[in-house]
Amino acid sequence: MTSEFAGRVAIVTGAGAGLGRCHALALARAGARVVVNDMAAADGAAGEAARSVVREIMAFGGEAVAEPADVSSFAAVEAMVERVIARWGRVDILVNNAGILRDRSFARMEMADFDRVVAVHLSGSANCCRAVWEAMRRQGYGRIVLTTSCSGLYGNFGQANYAAAKTGMIGLMTTLQQEGSKHGIRVNCLSPLATTGMTEGLFTAEDAIRLTPEAVSPAVVFMASEVAPEKTIIGAGAGVYSVVHVVETGGVYLPPEARSPADFRAVFAQMSDISTARTFNTGFDQAAGFIATANRARALAG
């Protein structure tokens, strides 16, 4: 164990197994007191998976508690956060990891499965963020990690529900960062790639050896630390760490008389020119960029 996170309190959702378990262990080894969240057992108490992770943490001298809560229920999450604050006085770190899969091609997907996946991943993350938000604002410090996915960034067949929820994390991150920045809250996204129960059978045995969940957690520790970035998507897998950028090309101005499909086709290559790509800090920055490009084009046209 180290003392880097001494005095910090971290909540990790879906921490009974897989990536969540590894995130919880890594944060505890860095000195944080860790809330191991997972679904409740039949009697409403913490399940064996979460309690097992707590025992692992305590075995190496860490401090942890198991907290059952269905993240898709704001009332359940709010009650969990209240218990944590009553116990430890604060919440510094939130790692939104809880998730489920209901994979099926869109033509065969029941909309109930679409709704359930969005409820757990996207609404569940929003519930957790909202439950800790005021505490983080009051203390002037917070680190929030949302979990996106290569499915959300690039798409995967049979995962329309999961991909939609995971793409929603990016919009949630960018807006929460704008609102939380002045309160010392930093919000980032993790895009992990690892062999877990949710990805079992998708990789060869050789690749699975490299794609351990333990190799992902260092990125979480970084995003949970005092030197965390802001509004950043970090990819992590097999010991490789990357940054994903959302960029937009410079754009082409078309006058009112030249906006037909044929006109678009004629300039599409120019519209797509990645060498002109730029990033925006807010949606209003995009609007300003459009207006500036249009004004320049009209000025050149005389």
Residue 203 sits at φ, ψ, to 5 deg, of -120, 155
Task: Dump the DSSP string for the chain.
Answer: --STTTT-EEEETTTTSHHHHHHHHHHHHTT-EEEEEE-B-TTSSBPHHHHHHHHHHHHTT--EEEEE--TT-HHHHHHHHHHHHHHHS---EEE----------TTT--HHHHHHHHIIIIIHHHHHHHHHHHHHHHHT-EEEEEE--HHHHH--TT-HHHHHHHHHHHHHHHHHHHHHGGGTEEEEEEEE---STTTTTSS-HHHHHH--GGGTHHHHHHHTSTT--SS-EEEEETTEEEEE---B-------GGG-SHHHHHHHHHHHT-GGG-B--SSHHHHHHHHHHHHHHHHHHH-
Catalytic residues: 162
